[in-house]
């Protein structure tokens, strides 16, 4: 009787899994969950002392407590889900270990069948029909075992995707938020006299907007600016960035606004002069709140206009009432 034909198959009896590594990862996730629980307790215990012992009340206390509750709720969820991930990994490791054991037993049944391995897989050369049936049965059983393993892994993959989505949502919610601040003295008070090209003038506003926008600025504090130019600056910024800019101008004094031309063309007398805060509304900043002028204890100055012709003297114009600063509240969007 002729020997049965060789039977070639992939190595169905090796899952190539690493349950030990999964169990180590499971322990890491459970430890992370426990640390999150400890952090939550630490925050809540400290807050409890403040609210009960020191009797902290009022709008600020309420705002802080609401923030604390939201934060610790997410910390609690993170700790719970981290522990669940640990359990999921442990269960998966157990399934893989048990099913690999079953596959090992099936493979042992074929030890008496001549076999060889190469890049194409395993080739069995049964000596008789009984060995051929043994190999075919072992292949069928191995495929069934692997089917069950694949079903479990697919289910656990879906579970893991759920936890991944939850962790990403928490991460996004509590991701650090940054605000870029640019402090810019544009120097419209420098060289502010007829024919003097020092400092900046109205025609330089576009360049100034380019500097502010080019720095990806969220808040620009601008000093030494004339009011009639600051709103041109706002328009330039909105055109350049496509975002809404909220501008608050606080007058420090009124100045004679001279340009570079001589003779005098287009100069403005008693132009409001001072400081401005420009706030770019976006993902983090909602807008601006109250704004006010803060008067500083510095004497004012003056500028002198040259004589217009023979027999006329120079003209002295007082240059404001001294120095001021601007204070503006910036409203950050709640989480």
Q: What are phi and psi of 278, to 5 degrees?
A: -115, 125
The ranges of the chain with pLDDT < 70 are 1, 53-54, 191-197, 260-266, 297-322, 335
329 Cβ contact partners less than 8 Å away, ≥ 6 residues apart:
288, 289, 290, 291
Cα within 13 Å of Cα(139), Cβ side: 15
Q: What are residue 219's DSSP bridge partners?
A: 181, 279
**Long-range contacts (CB closer than 8 Å, 24 or more residues apart) made by 169-176:** 170/74, 170/77, 170/78, 173/74, 173/335, 174/71, 174/74, 174/335
The count of other CB atoms within 10 Å of the CB of residue 326 is 20
User: Tens digits of per-residue pLDDT, 284-334?
Assistant: 888 888 888 887 765 555 556 555 555 555 555 555 555 778 888 888 887
Please tell me the pTM assigned to this model. Answer: 0.62
For residue 219, give the H/E element and its range.
Answer: strand 219-226
Q: Among 266, 258, 249, 264, which Cα is nearest to 324's?
A: 249
Q: pLDDT value at position 74?
A: 94
Q: pLDDT value at position 316?
A: 59
Residues 305 and 254: beta-carbon distance below 8 Å = no
Secondary structure (3-state) at 252: strand
User: How far, in Å, CA of 136 to CA of 203, rounded?
Assistant: 88
User: Tens digits of per-residue pLDDT, 126-147?
Assistant: 999 999 999 999 999 999 999 9
The count of other CB atoms within 10 Å of the CB of residue 110 is 20
């Amino acid at each position: 009787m002729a020997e049965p034909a060789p039977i070639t198959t992939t190595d169905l009896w090796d899952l190539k899994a690493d349950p030990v590594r999964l169990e180590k990862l499971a322990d890491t996730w459970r430890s992370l969950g426990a640390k999150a629980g400890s952090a939550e307790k630490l925050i809540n215990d400290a807050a409890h002392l403040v609210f009960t012992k020191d009797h902290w009340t009022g709008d600020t206390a309420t705002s802080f407590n609401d923030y604390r509750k939201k934060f610790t709720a997410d910390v609690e969820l993170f700790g719970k889900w981290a522990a669940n991930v640990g359990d999921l990994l442990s269960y998966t490791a157990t399934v893989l270990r048990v099913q690999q054991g079953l596959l090992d037993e099936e493979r042992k049944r074929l030890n008496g069948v001549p076999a060889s391995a190469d890049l194409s897989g395993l080739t069995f050369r049964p000596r008789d029909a009984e060995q051929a049936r043994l190999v075919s049965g072992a292949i069928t059983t191995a495929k069934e075992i692997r089917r069950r393993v694949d079903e479990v892994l697919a289910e656990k993959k879906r579970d893991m995707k759920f936890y991944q989505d939850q962790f990403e949502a928490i991460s996004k919610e509590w991701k650090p938020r940054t605000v870029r601040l640019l402090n810019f003295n544009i120097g419209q008070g420098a060289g502010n006299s007829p024919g003097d090209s020092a400092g900046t003038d109205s025609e330089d506003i576009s360049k100034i907007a380019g500097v502010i926008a080019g720095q990806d600025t969220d808040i620009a504090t601008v000093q030494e600016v004339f009011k009639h130019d600051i709103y041109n600056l706002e328009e330039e910024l909105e055109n350049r960035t496509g975002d809404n800019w909220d501008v608050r101008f606080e007058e420090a004094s009124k100045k004679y606004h001279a340009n570079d031309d001589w003779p005098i063309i287009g100069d403005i007398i008693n132009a409001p002069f001072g400081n401005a805060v420009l706030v770019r509304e976006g993902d983090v900043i909602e807008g601006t709140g109250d704004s006010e002028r803060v008067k500083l204890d510095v004497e004012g100055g003056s500028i002198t206009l040259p004589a217009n012709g023979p027999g006329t003297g120079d003209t002295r114009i007082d240059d404001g009432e001294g120095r001021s600063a601007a204070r503006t509240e910036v409203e950050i969007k709640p989480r």
